[in-house]
Amino acid sequence: MIKRNGHWLMVALTGLVAAVARVPVAHAAWTLNLTPGVDAVSRDIYGLHMLMFWWCVGIAVVVFGFIIYSLVRFRHSKGAVADTQLLHNTRVEIVWTLLPALILVSMAVPAARVLVEAEDTSGSQLEIRVTGYQWRWVYQYVGTNVTLISSLDRDSDQARQLDSGIDPFSVPNYLLNVDHPLVVPAGVKVRVLITGGDVIHSWWLPAFGIKKDAIPGYINEAWFAVDPDKLGTYRGQCAELCGRDHGFMPIVVQVVSQQDFQQWLKAQEAAMPPGSAPLTPEVGQPPLPTYAPPSPTTAPSPTT
């Protein structure tokens, strides 16, 4: 009987989900949790997140359990009589001050370790300068003349216009696709130098565990080293309100093998307009790239 009821409930729930979502259940978008990501730091962050989550669940079970027990057990309607002499209890109060402090220490230690790791940008093998503009990203490979201007792709841009009549579900990677994605090699420590060209933006790639603000006048640093076996395309978005089209400047990163990356970079260098100066590694020396000319680059072939 119980089993049949359970089955009925499942069918009803599935039906409800499908009805509400208006899309096939296979769409599988009811995501609940953070992505573990594809590099060491993002996985450590995920570990911290889960550690915190389970601590919170544990504390909630104990505290809420105690509250619910009291709420049920000491109901006036069931004739409960209040113990008006229960005003304080020094021993208990010391325990519930010190015990949380100890728990906090047990959280702070791994958190500090991951923080130190995430902020250590030393020893990188490739540097990329990221500049946020209203409303696109510009990527420059330091030491080369390769500059990519990365804007929302045409299909998303058409569909996202007010009353466009285009169903967003019909656009692949709606609002998460760009014309020129950033291309990076796997297995290499990449340092990203992040700045803003007009207002503050924020470069966020969940799979890499990176979110750094792109601030005019500042060059912020972050790093990632994607696992060699995690080739693929990763997507993120600007995470700091930067004006009208803040929601329409996605970040797309293609992770390719080191060999493919070198080939791609050479091809890009050759394709840049003659006379374009390489960006030198000295931070602060090259002028900020000025946005305006249309992208001179060719899109990397999707097969790389």
Partner 1 sequence: MAHSEHAATAHEEHDDHDHKPKGLWRWVSTTNHKDIGTLYLIFSCTMFFVAGSFAMLIRAELFKPGLQFLDPALFNTFTTMHGLVMIFGAIMPGFVGLANWMIPMQVGAPDMALPRMNNFSFWILPFAFTLLIGSIFVPGGGMAGGWTLYPPLSIQTGDALPMAIFSIHLMGASSIMGAINIIVTIMNMRAPGMSLLRMPLFVWTWLITAFLLIAVMPVLAGAVTMLLTDHFFGTSFFNAAGGGDPVMFQHIFWFFGHPEVYIMILPGFGIVSEIIPTFSRKPLFGYDAMVYATASIAFLSFIVWAHHMFTVGLPLASELFFMLSTMLIAIPTGVKVFNWSATLYRGSISYDPPMLWALAFLFLFSIGGFSGLMLAIAPADFQYQDTYFVVAHFHYVLVSGALFSIMGAVYYWLPKWTGHMYNMKLAKWHFWLSAIFFNVLFFPQHFLGLAGMPRRIPDYATQFADWNMVSSLGGFAFGASQLLFPYIIWQCVRGGEKATDRVWEGARGLEWELPSPAPYHTWAEAPAMATLDHGAPVHETHG
Question: Residues 58 to 97: which contact partner 1 by CB under 8 A?
Answer: 59-60, 63-64, 66-67, 70-71, 74-77, 80-84, 86-89, 92-93, 96-97
CB of residue 82 to partner 1, shortest distance in Å: 4
The count of C-alpha atoms lying within 13 angstroms of the C-alpha of 6, restricted to the half-sphere facing its C-beta, is 3
Do the Cβ atoms of 253 and 234 come closer than 8 Å?
yes
81 vs 270 by CB, closer to partner 1:
81
CB of residue 274 to partner 1, shortest distance in Å: 31
Phi, psi of 81 (to 5 degrees): -110, 130
CB of residue 160 to partner 1, shortest distance in Å: 6
Q: By CB under 8 A, which span of 4-12, 163-171, 181-189, 273-281 interacts with partner 1?
A: 163-171
User: x-or-dash pattern for partner 1, window 194-233, by CB under 8 A?
Assistant: x---xxx-x-x-x--xxxxx-xxxx-xx------------
> Is residue 21 part of the contact set for partner 1 (CB under 8 A)?
yes
| Residues 128-157 within binding reach of partner 1 (CB under 8 A) | none
Can you say whether the dihedral through the CA atoms of 173, 177, 183, 184 is positive or negative? negative
Q: Which of 26, 162, 270, 292 binds partner 1 (CB under 8 A)?
A: 162
Alpha carbon distance 42, 232 (integer Å): 16
CB of residue 266 to partner 1, shortest distance in Å: 33
| Residues 250-289 within binding reach of partner 1 (CB under 8 A) | none
Q: Which residues are CB-neighbours of 295 under 8 A, at least 6 positions away?
A: 148, 149, 151, 179, 180
CB of residue 28 to partner 1, shortest distance in Å: 9
Alpha carbon distance 149, 219 (integer Å): 19
DSSP lists the bridge partners of residue 147 as: 140
CB of residue 182 to partner 1, shortest distance in Å: 17
Do the Cβ atoms of 200 and 242 come closer than 8 Å?
yes
Do the Cβ atoms of 197 and 216 come closer than 8 Å?
yes
Q: In what helix (H) or strand (E) does residue 261 lie, and over which residues does it extend? A: helix 258-271
13 vs 80 by CB, closer to partner 1:
80
